Copies of this chain bind each other. A is one copy, B any other.
């Protein structure tokens, strides 16, 4: 159950109410309302809260703050002057390379964004590789290069946190914090992101059910950060001709039952560039809030994910067709 309390109850009192009802709590950043979240098994307003409650919402699983039973409309999330979700019809395109590799490379990516009107640049600095014997990312030097791109070109930045050891650095340098598929269960990261003052893009683990995915978002939401975006990026199935299986059925479920904006990542789903354009158009036709598409000035020499990145020419062609598809489903590509 989610319970909105009277605004003027002091924090110390809320703390003891939370303890008494075994709840987590936070103050909404938008309107300062104290919000208690009990176990989802609680179906009746606890006696001691009756006098102190503005409104309460019964939920039927541990999908609570993220549920459309709590909030009917999709949450609006602002990244500076950019907005997705809420009443707008924006579909936000994000592009850039898998990893920051050099100033020259990331500058070329930034200039591609500028040339097309793309507003958010993506690139990883801490790569969650499966082998210790491959490139692990540029780390803090990469973050500084991304910061330079922001300052030089006015782009917004999204980059990934891999483990708790550098979560504060990533939060301080980026505009959107990306939690990668392999880190989705990391309580240390989820809690740090719950305290952060920036939007979080949470990627679905490739072995993660929709229920668990949404529950992971609850760790962030219930720690007080109301700006969570969900990202489907492919799940692991028996089919191995493609790297993962893009779960668009799951996307319709998330759209139907959660109040969180959705950004889709077709590049990681397929893992091969021949299919990225068709899957990107399919994604745009789903009427979702955004798209994450990997591009590289020269994919052949990319230090990670070489097979799946589009070159700039391919992306330019794709971008033109995405605009048409978005319009066909009554949305605006930004």
Chain A positions near chain B (C-beta within 8 angstroms)? 24, 37-40, 62, 64, 128, 130-134, 162-165, 182-183, 185-189, 205-212, 215-216, 218-219, 222-223, 234-253, 255-256, 269-270, 274-275, 278-279, 281-287, 321, 324-325, 327-329
Most B CB within 10 A of own CB, among A162, A185, A222, A286: A185
Task: Contacts A130-B185, A133-B39, A245-B245 given; indicate if A252 touches B278 (C-beta within 8 A).
Answer: yes
Which of chain B's residues has its CB closest to A165's CB? B188
Which of B131, B236, B237, B256 lies in contact with A62, CB distance below 8 A? B131
A-B contact pairs, 14 of them (CB 8 A): A64-B133, A130-B215, A131-B218, A133-B218, A183-B185, A206-B207, A235-B245, A237-B247, A238-B238, A244-B249, A278-B286, A282-B286, A285-B325, A325-B329
Copies of chain A in the complex? 4
Cβ–Cβ < 8 Å partners of A251 in chain B: 278
Which of chain B's residues has its CB closest to A223's CB? B132
Which of B188, B208, B284 lies in contact with A163, CB distance below 8 A? B188
Give Cα A253–Cα B245 distance, bound, in whole angstroms. Answer: 12
Extra 13 A-B pairs, beta carbons < 8 Å, given A128-B185, A164-B186 = A39-B134, A133-B222, A164-B165, A209-B236, A234-B249, A236-B238, A237-B237, A246-B247, A252-B274, A256-B274, A278-B286, A279-B286, A281-B286
Task: Contacts A211-B241, A238-B209, A239-B210 given; indicate if A187 touches B128 (C-beta within 8 A).
Answer: yes
Cβ–Cβ < 8 Å partners of A133 in chain B: 24, 37-40, 62, 64, 218, 222
3 closest residue pairs by CB, A with B: A207-B207, A252-B275, A163-B188
Give Cα A72–Cα B329 distance, bound, in whole angstroms. Answer: 32
A250 with B256: CB separation less than 8 A: no
Cβ–Cβ < 8 Å partners of A205 in chain B: 207
Most B CB within 10 A of own CB, among A24, A187, A284: A187
Which of chain B's residues has its CB closest to A206's CB? B207
Which of chain B's residues has its CB closest to A63's CB? B131
Which of B131, B207, B242, B252 lies in contact with A238, CB distance below 8 A? B207
Task: Contacts A24-B133, A183-B185, A287-B278 given; indicate if A242 touches B237 (C-beta within 8 A).
Answer: no
Cβ–Cβ < 8 Å partners of A215 in chain B: 130-132
Cβ–Cβ < 8 Å partners of A274 in chain B: 252, 256
- Tell me the minimal C-beta distance from A227 to chain B in angstroms: 17
B249 with A249: CB separation less than 8 A: no
- Tell me the minimal C-beta distance from A85 to chain B in angstroms: 17
Which of chain B's residues has its CB closest to A180's CB? B185
Which of chain B's residues has its CB closest to A220's CB? B132
B250 with A249: CB separation less than 8 A: no
- Tell me the minimal C-beta distance from A305 to chain B in angstroms: 15
Which of B185, B248, B284, B287 lies in contact with A246, CB distance below 8 A? B248
Task: Contacts A132-B219, A325-B328 given; indicate if A235 touches B239 (C-beta within 8 A).
Answer: yes
